[in-house]
Homo-oligomer: A and B are copies of this chain.
């Protein structure tokens, strides 16, 4: 489904509503196997598995084998790229937000 299994574009990974819901489920539950995740959707297991593969390519999830199941865990850090990107545009709708954004930037430079 993707030519290079290197790090896939995080924007594309997040563009699909199914994948965003997957991220949310994993954010709430810490670690979940494929069949539990599949139960939350209308589509079949194979489709969910492919979505997870895309998230994995974007490094947004980690997977780990546990017996006969494969458990998935959220790795939100790549979303930082999106946050950085979108924060540039906040100034166009909110001057106040721009101020806080710069504070946040300073904060992160310290760390």
As a 0/1 sequence over residues 20 to 62 of chain A, the CB contacts with chain B under 8 angstroms (1 = contact) are 1001000100000000000000000000000000000000000
Binding site for B on A (CB under 8 A): 9, 11-12, 14-17, 20, 23, 27, 74, 76-77, 79-80, 82-83, 85-90, 92-94, 96-97, 100, 103-104, 107-108, 111
A71 to B16, CA, bound (A): 30
Q: Which residue from chain B places its CB closest to the CB of A94 in the assembled complex?
A: B108
Copies in the complex: 2
Interface centre among A27, A89, A93 (most CB of B within 10 A): A89
Residue of B nearest to A103 (CB): B100
Q: Looking at A12, A20, A83, A100, which has the most chain B CB atoms within 10 Å of its CB?
A: A83
